Structure 1
Amino acid sequence: MLNAWNAVQRGRPPMALRRRNERLLALVRECRWSYDACAAAVRAVALENGGALPSCDRSHVGHWIAGVKPTEMTSRYLAEAFSRRLGRIVGPADLGLVVGDSLEPDLTGLDWWRRDPATDLLTLGRADVERRAFGFTALYSLAALAVPLDSWEDIAERGRRARGGGAAVGRREIDAVRDMLAVFSRADERFGGGHARLAVVQYLTSDVAGYLQGTFASDQDRRAMFSAAAELTYLAGWKAFDSSLHGVAQRYYLQSLRLANEADDRALAGFTLRAMAHQAVDLGHGAEALQLATSALAWSRGRATPAATALFTVLTARGHAATGDRAKTSAALRAAEVHLAKAAPGDEPTWIQTSGFTTTSLASQAGQALRDLGDLPAAETELRRSVATRDTDAYRRIHTLTLANLADVQCVRGRLREATESWNDALDSMVGVRSGRATVAVKNIRTRLSSFGPRLPAFAKQLDQRAAALLVAP
């Protein structure tokens, strides 16, 4: 009896006082999972969201079913793992787990389509700025990728009816948002997503959200402001994605889609769907990436310029490659080249001009698609072409990542000295860049080199030491 009392005092109920979690057990059985399979699914979700749980195994699942409460974050990982397996949204409450109140209920839900987008943007931005843990507790969710494209007109009409009666907003305010967007976008391409990320969010919440709730002299002005806000919200999502804050990025992307929809800017909505496809394929969700990229093409058809259509098409190639379809990958790459050949740079939208989608960017994406297919010689050719033609000062981050991809292919092909040279070039280009994706690339260097063991040549050991020093630098 004394041992039981001591256990309660330490916050760990003794086994005799625990109640078996029947809800969790029922869901494990519905998934037809073994305890090992359940633990593996939880580890996969945790790793994807930057919270690796390498020690999670079947014994942990057994303890949870026996009544031991996992941490709040582990509960979230569990809920997402079940959601993916069952094809429906499963929350921690459905698992019989007690979750803390670190996030408001309106941030844990996935249905952002029923409310006013300006209010949702304000709620999301404030949580991002004011709550340090938000970036780590907001999980990337496959359920949130179910974008209701077939009902967007109804969604937009609800938003128009909810327009506010605030201060008058006109061309001057629209131009101000566009000017700030240009400044933030140029800095992002040069210095990475970690540079001034929260400054973008603060501007969204302090100024832009207010403009969206204002009074407009014409519907044309309203659409122009919502389009500018959608583009800036996309940038907030892209910066979070580049910072490896995938759950936060996904939520900004969803808000960008809402705003672009209300602006009736289908091409910009396609651009955001393309970014969601990019995120999905990078996280290993090839089928979902293909669906999103295909949706970008379908939703923007007749509205998108040639370069935009080429960009959306090359993401379908990434999706086909991730799902192992060689013929469709090749066809999509050829189609993207045809579309891009028709582009007139001066006639492209600002988001194409700022992101610099040209033959250089197309080559980088093509190289990654071919790499995923296992065609390493062709992948190296495309990546080399991208490196050779890039404006390295204006687009330093993507140049860094392309060099790292090239080096990785060279290493796999058995040319370690060339790979080392490319990796060193990547580290040179990385100076001053704050990017989670760049950090992942540096970690990959060490992983690749560690596979050589004691056979690692001296020139490669120097690279490994340099990479290690970068990872521990503030």
Structure 2
Amino acid sequence: MLNVLNAGSRTEGQQMARAPRQRNEKLLTVIKECQWSYDACAVAVRAVAQENGETSASFDRSHVGHWIAGVTPSSRNSRFLAEAISRRLGRVVNPIDLGLRGTDSLEPDLIGLDWWEQAPATDLITVGRADLERREFGLAALYSLAALAVPLDSWQEIAERGRRAQGGVVPVGRSEIDAVRDMLTVFSRADERLGGGYARLAVVQYLTSDVAGYLQGRFSSAEDRKAMFSVAAETTYLAGWKAFDSSLHGLAQRYYVQALRLANEADDRPLAGFTLRAMAHQAVDLGHGQEALQLADAALAWSRGRATPAATALFTILTARGHAATGDKARTSAAIRAAETHLAKALPDDEPAWIRTSGFTETSLASQAGQALRDLGDLPAAETQLRRSIATRNPEAYRRIHTLTLANLADVQCGQGRLREATEHWNHAMDTMSGVTSGRASSAVKNIRTRLSSFGPRLPSFAKQLDQRATAFLRHDHPPTYT
């Protein structure tokens, strides 16, 4: 990843040497409203920066002091600051509200669009083209908690507005719908085997050209329109999932919002729930347990009465992840049991295409249950679930998630003090990573080094060899963002 933070810091450092400047009273007033010390503000900004890929971010109280004194932070650091303050105050705060001018051309793309007012195909093209044409877009897009507030009560009104906008000149029918479905199947299978970085931009290119064109076309029936918007939503979801797997969290969030819009236009509430579930998955992975729980609950609420048993199980197991992240053991266990009950009623042939494509089965449920139990600190139970997942998965068809599950199992074993077994599974995970282009897989390797470093000089030779292997992997690993 480009070291945008360091470049920004040099610019700010140069500015610090110049004088005089006008004190930024707007920023000072808002920081006081947050009831933050300069140190507390720096900690909050650093957390946002690290969440968005700046793992070496080193903000301290002096940075905050310089900003208040009138030094203008880089555009990216301004957005880190605005997002941290937005989270603290519970409302959207933009850099301009803090007395910080917009400093680059990405501002309209990142924070200037109301995703629920524009036509969905128009917004999809806006995001997709920015992703394709400007390399920095994916790096600059910030993950925002404010963007998780979807208008649940406005579903019908928003969908009706989209239907009234119909009327392009290109005729669209079943053959076009089937073509998009076939392409989605090809892309999805490759994604499961080769990771989110593989052909990510090919999916985006297909979305912004063929699919967006179909969405703006003329449909012979309302059912054809719904079918096209549904498969477009699935394809947009895949673009978001691939960005998520590539650790481009702000970009992934934008595609997820667009997938939700398209599912809404199709009046496909279960598919909307599937997207909300992905947003919950992202939120819990980033440490936002309460938000993850709210999104998982929304997935269940939005699809209630229309979701199949397997889909309901998938949404329910994400509530378990949310409950675990908030430390609620009783509700976590109850959600895991409920998900298993729902899944036992599933008939594979009756499940929607996105359940079959994602491969959600007992294997996937066990993986999510294992992670929930790990987050609760119940490591023996977590190990049982993760072993169950590994034993029942097709490792070639689902190579990426098999790799991640092996790494999770090793992490749980390490937490129980069984370093040799953990090392064996970490080595196995790295064996299966060959050919997988995934930011999450790279993060799993970084976690190996972090866990082993805690042993200090007492590290056994077999673990030292693993550490050397992980170091070599990370040295030669390149972020799979733009392939």
Q: TM-score range by the shorter chain?
A: over 0.9
SS of equivalent residue, structure 1 residue 304: coil
SS of equivalent residue, structure 1 residue 133: helix
Q: Deviations over 1:262-313 (max 9, x none)?
A: 0010000000000000000000000000000000001001111100000000
Structure 1 residue aligned with 2:338: 335
Which whole-Å CA distance do the structure 2 matches of 1:295 and 1:179 have between them?
Answer: 30
Structure 2 residue aligned with 1:42: 45
Structure 1 residue aligned with 2:65: 62
Structure 2 residue aligned with 1:326: 329
Which whole-Å CA distance do the structure 1 matches of 2:107 and 2:64 have between them?
Answer: 27
Which moves more between the two structures, 37-46 or 11-20? Answer: 11-20
Equivalences for residues 436-447 of structure 1 within 5 A:
436-447=439-450
Structure 2 residue aligned with 1:347: 350
The structure 2 residue matched to 1:217, chosen from 208, 217, 220, is 220
Which whole-Å CA distance do the structure 2 matches of 1:54 and 1:201 have between them?
Answer: 30
Q: Deviations over 1:240-267 (max 9, x none)?
A: 0000000000000000000000001000
Equivalences for residues 15-414 of structure 1 within 5 A:
16-103=19-106, 105-109=108-112, 111-414=114-417
Which moves more between the two structures, 126-135 or 90-99? Answer: 90-99
Which whole-Å CA distance do the structure 2 matches of 1:258 and 1:228 have between them?
Answer: 12
Which whole-Å CA distance do the structure 2 matches of 1:168 and 1:350 have between them?
Answer: 25
Which moves more between the two structures, 14-23 or 172-181? Answer: 14-23
Structure 2 residue aligned with 1:3: none
User: CA, structure 1 residues 357+425, in 2 after alignment: closer, same or farther (shift >3 Å)?
Assistant: same
Amino acid in structure 1 at the alignment position of 2:385: E
Shift of 1:59: 0.7
Q: With the length of structure 1 as denominator, give the TM-score of the two structures.
A: 0.97
Which whole-Å CA distance do the structure 2 matches of 1:393 and 1:184 have between them?
Answer: 16
Provide the aligned length of Structure 1 versus Structure 2.
466
Shift of 1:164: 3.5
8 A Cα contact 1:110 1:144, kept in partner: no
8 A Cα contact 2:16 2:66, kept in partner: no
SS of equivalent residue, structure 2 residue 396: coil
Amino acid in structure 2 at the alignment position of 1:89: V
8 A Cα contact 2:314 2:360, kept in partner: yes
Amino acid in structure 2 at the alignment position of 1:209: A
Structure 1 residue aligned with 2:438: 435
Which whole-Å CA distance do the structure 2 matches of 1:462 and 1:313 have between them?
Answer: 40
Q: Deviations over 1:140-159 (max 9, x none)?
A: 00000001011111111111
Q: Deviations over 1:186-213 (max 9, x none)?
A: 0000000000000000000011001000
Unaligned runs of 5+ in 2: 1-10, 478-483
Which whole-Å CA distance do the structure 2 matches of 1:217 and 1:110 have between them?
Answer: 31
Which whole-Å CA distance do the structure 2 matches of 1:274 and 1:369 have between them?
Answer: 15
Which whole-Å CA distance do the structure 1 matches of 2:49 and 2:96 have between them?
Answer: 19
8 A Cα contact 2:74 2:103, kept in partner: no
Shift of 1:99: 2.7
Which whole-Å CA distance do the structure 1 matches of 2:134 and 2:255 have between them?
Answer: 16
Which whole-Å CA distance do the structure 2 matches of 1:104 and 1:17 have between them?
Answer: 28
Amino acid in structure 2 at the alignment position of 1:361: S
Shift of 1:13: 7.2
What RMSD in Å do the two structures reach over aligned CA positions? 1.3
Which whole-Å CA distance do the structure 2 matches of 1:436 and 1:16 have between them?
Answer: 42
Which moves more between the two structures, 70-79 or 161-170? Answer: 161-170
Which moves more between the two structures, 12-21 or 414-423? Answer: 12-21
Unaligned runs of 5+ in 1: 1-7
8 A Cα contact 1:21 1:96, kept in partner: yes
Q: Deviations over 1:51-100 (max 9, x none)?
A: 13542100110000000111111001001001101111100111111232
Higher relative contact order (CA 8 A, sep 6+): 2
Which whole-Å CA distance do the structure 1 matches of 2:460 and 2:56 have between them?
Answer: 33
Q: Which runs of 4+ in 1 moved over 6 A?
A: none
Identity of matched residues, %? 79
8 A Cα contact 2:374 2:412, kept in partner: yes
Structure 2 residue aligned with 1:5: none
Which whole-Å CA distance do the structure 1 matches of 2:366 and 2:110 have between them?
Answer: 38
Which whole-Å CA distance do the structure 2 matches of 1:473 and 1:15 have between them?
Answer: 40
Which whole-Å CA distance do the structure 2 matches of 1:236 and 1:200 have between them?
Answer: 6
SS of equivalent residue, structure 1 residue 295: helix
8 A Cα contact 1:107 1:124, kept in partner: no
Which whole-Å CA distance do the structure 2 matches of 1:78 and 1:124 have between them?
Answer: 23
Shift of 1:106: 4.4
